[in-house]
Structure 1
Amino acid sequence: MSPARVLVVDDSLTMRALIRHALNSDPGIEVVGEASDPFEARKKMKSLDPDVVTLDVEMPNMNGIEFLQKIMTLRPTPVIMVSNLTAPGAAVTLEALELGAFDCIAKPGAGSNTFDILPDLVKEANHAKAGLVKRRMAAVEHRVNGTAQTLARSQSGPDLIGIGSSTGGVEALMQVLAEFPADCPPTLIVQHLPAAFTASFAARLNRTCPAHVSEAKDGEAIRQGHVYLAPGGSRHMMLRKGTQPTIALVADEPVCGHRPSVDVLFASIAKHFKDRSTGVILTGMGRDGAQGLLQMRKAGSRTLAQDEETSLVYGMPRVAHEIGAAQKRLPLSRVAREIFV
């Protein structure tokens, strides 16, 4: 496979040198150019056609978030945000992920070198490039055609919805939940995010979605019209069934390398809701959720997976399809409608 060709965009000469050194140390990566501001970067993107762009936020002439939006609209390319403003918990991080950034990392600080993971992120982003243009075109068509309208809850629909997602999931969840009715069935979501992100992401979803979205709390009773986002960090989210189903946040070993794990959530839904639930796997790296979705299908649940063309990373949905866990594969624009048929 040809090396991933990278354009480094940062107004600091020193930082560009550090990023270039970190990336050129990997034989699977080639830094083909550098730019000190978005205007220079735009010209070099046209002439060099990089596979991946690393992008700072604070720059002269145009900030990185504004430039990211232009990239995703006019020339979809995997972008990794590298900035002191994209540390865990920063509001600008969620904004960048919503706009379609592949990932966000902070610049190195005292006692840490976040650039250790940068080469692997670049190669993963390059691998995801093939489906990026189709995904962005589908998202634009979705907005232009006005299909992001609130759906009505079907009387024959599920009593509970479970959703799992990872890389690319912030943007995908924003689109799917925007169509959920205000009286949607209780919906439980595991999105792989660091602990510092989930509360602010839930608040952001709550501002844009008809249903009420919140970070889940241990012992909380699930209710119609509510969407519960698993807290990132050290506990799995699952259902506890009694006279009233409640959320349990359980400290246990990671599953598929994750805590919270989609597999753990889906397994508990399969146990307690059987054929009265719908499970959905969206874009994401790895295989978390596939086995749990298979358990849901065997228990009688409806099971859905996002298709390859609209997934930023076709990992979790691919495995779900390959093991027979997903009854249907759908473009992101049709996922919400399929849930509520």
Structure 2
Amino acid sequence: MRELLSALLSQDPSIKVVGTATDPYQARQMIKQLLPDVITLDIEMPKMDGLSFLEKIMTLRPMPVVMVSSLTQQGAEATLNALELGAVDFFPKPKLDMKRGIESRAEELIHKVKNAALARVKTLERQSDSQHDSSILSNITFSTTEKVIVIGASTGGVEALRVVIKNLPANSPAVLVTQHMPEKFTKTFADRLDKISAVSVSEAKHGERVLPGHVYIAPGGKHLKLHRSGANYLCQLTDEEAVSGHKPSVDVLFNSTCEAAGKNAIGVILTGMGKDGAAGMLELRKIGAKTFGQDEISCVVYGMPKAAYEIGAVEQQVPLNKMAETMLTACGAAKDRHIRV
């Protein structure tokens, strides 16, 4: 695996593989000597598991890390743990014919490593994930139940979405989320958010009604659209081609929301590489929807919010720790309530 990853990464002239390590103890010494810009780290390693080593890196010597993980349920759990610990991104290993499977996705691996080199990483500061004391939030009222929030995110989005969603009150307007993530990972991600949030978080199902107090995560490998049927909003899943290189795509969600909700929508774009969601957010703003982008300093990768801001799609740039409050205020939250974020 080390030889394969090294060979694939070395295909790009802008990447130099400065070393490979057989275990975390050897890696620790090599990091001190070689000062790499990016580390690729397998979750399964001898002598110390990858998560324990990652936690040490992000606590003592933060740097961009791309995790290499398996496309299994157990791999999804471990990968999400890694992203919460501060890993920038992950590269999933196929379960069958690993060598050929990885070689066929060499471009994706190179892209993730180069993006990671641009990421803003911080010293790990673990916060409690116990469910919020919702008594502070339970009395918030909203001017209409027709408001709906749509959120797009990519690199760094797992942690950003955790910060935003766990701070929503139980009676929050409905939220639809597109996070760039493969199959198997999105349901695990939704289940984890559900455990720490006052709102109900689940992977979106085709045709289900969109209700206040619920968050719907786009399944990996499917596009999520907001659809209107009479007085009701519905989730619509489609198997169309990738858009902006992604499936699910943020642009698909935002564009469908323009038609379904119009100015009753609130569009939010969080950290991520690329420009998926920028064009869709511009359409949202044109029809009178409120639009917010995560500010540069709080982004892991200021790519998607920057692309949206530069074309005039973002009405206001907002720090991550203020995003939940900003969204709720835009939905008509009572002004005299204090929202803890």
Q: Same fold (TM over 0.5)?
A: yes
Deviates more, 1:221-230 or 1:16-25: 16-25
Whole-angstrom distance in 2 between the partners of 1:325 and 1:211? 28
When residues 25 and 205 of structure 1 are mapped into structure 2, their CA distance, relative to the original with a 3 A threshold, is same
User: Counterpart of 2:196?
Assistant: 208
Whole-angstrom distance in 1 between the partners of 2:97 and 2:108? 22
Whole-angstrom distance in 2 between the partners of 1:246 and 1:277? 14
User: What secondary structure does 2:191 align onto?
Assistant: helix
User: Counterpart of 1:187?
Assistant: 175
Residues 1:77 and 2:42 aligned together: no
CA contact (8 A) 1:149 1:179 kept: no
Whole-angstrom distance in 2 between the partners of 1:118 and 1:215? 29
When residues 65 and 316 of structure 1 are mapped into structure 2, their CA distance, relative to the original with a 3 A threshold, is same
Whole-angstrom distance in 2 between the partners of 1:303 and 1:125? 30
User: Counterpart of 1:96?
Assistant: 82
- Identity fraction in percent: 45
Whole-angstrom distance in 2 between the partners of 1:194 and 1:296? 26
1:241 is displaced (CA, Å) by 3.4
When residues 203 and 120 of structure 1 are mapped into structure 2, their CA distance, relative to the original with a 3 A threshold, is closer
User: Counterpart of 2:332?
Assistant: none
Residues 1:329 and 2:313 aligned together: no
1:64 is displaced (CA, Å) by 0.4
1:127 is displaced (CA, Å) by 4.1
Deviates more, 1:196-205 or 1:250-259: 250-259
When residues 130 and 233 of structure 1 are mapped into structure 2, their CA distance, relative to the original with a 3 A threshold, is closer
User: What secondary structure does 1:269 align onto?
Assistant: helix
User: Counterpart of 1:250?
Assistant: 238
Deviates more, 1:214-223 or 1:149-158: 149-158
Whole-angstrom distance in 2 between the partners of 1:256 and 1:234? 14
Query: What are structure 2's unaligned runs of at least 5 residues?
Result: 330-341
1:274 is displaced (CA, Å) by 2.5
User: What secondary structure does 1:255 align onto?
Assistant: coil
Give the aligned residue type for 1:181. Answer: P
CA contact (8 A) 2:226 2:260 kept: no
Write the mapping of 1:20-39 to structure 2, written as runs, cut at 5 A. Answer: 20-39=6-25
User: Counterpart of 2:97?
Assistant: 110
CA contact (8 A) 1:51 1:78 kept: yes
1:123 is displaced (CA, Å) by 5.3
Instruction: Write the deviation string for residues 207-252 of structure 1: whole angstroms up to 9, x where unpaired.
Output: 1211100111111111111001111214442222313221222333
User: Counterpart of 1:160?
Assistant: 148
CA contact (8 A) 2:223 2:252 kept: no
User: Counterpart of 2:289?
Assistant: 301
Residues 1:172 and 2:153 aligned together: no
CA contact (8 A) 1:169 1:282 kept: yes
Whole-angstrom distance in 2 between the partners of 1:45 and 1:220? 49
When residues 29 and 338 of structure 1 are mapped into structure 2, their CA distance, relative to the original with a 3 A threshold, is same
Residues 1:87 and 2:71 aligned together: yes
TM-score (norm 1): 0.84
Number of residues of Structure 1 aligned to a counterpart in Structure 2:
319
TM-score (norm 2): 0.84
Whole-angstrom distance in 2 between the partners of 1:195 and 1:107? 12
1:76 is displaced (CA, Å) by 1.8
Residues 1:340 and 2:328 aligned together: yes
1:268 is displaced (CA, Å) by 2.4
1:324 is displaced (CA, Å) by 0.5
User: Counterpart of 2:4?
Assistant: 18
1:88 is displaced (CA, Å) by 5.0
Deviates more, 1:182-191 or 1:41-50: 41-50
Give the aligned residue type for 2:178. Answer: V
When residues 104 and 305 of structure 1 are mapped into structure 2, their CA distance, relative to the original with a 3 A threshold, is same
Whole-angstrom distance in 2 between the partners of 1:181 and 1:305? 21
CA contact (8 A) 1:294 1:320 kept: yes
1:129 is displaced (CA, Å) by 3.6
CA contact (8 A) 1:206 1:212 kept: yes
Whole-angstrom distance in 2 between the partners of 1:104 and 1:23? 13
CA contact (8 A) 2:224 2:252 kept: yes
Whole-angstrom distance in 1 between the partners of 2:2 and 2:247? 34
User: Counterpart of 1:219?
Assistant: 207
User: Counterpart of 2:34?
Assistant: 48
Residues 1:67 and 2:53 aligned together: yes
User: What secondary structure does 1:270 align onto?
Assistant: helix
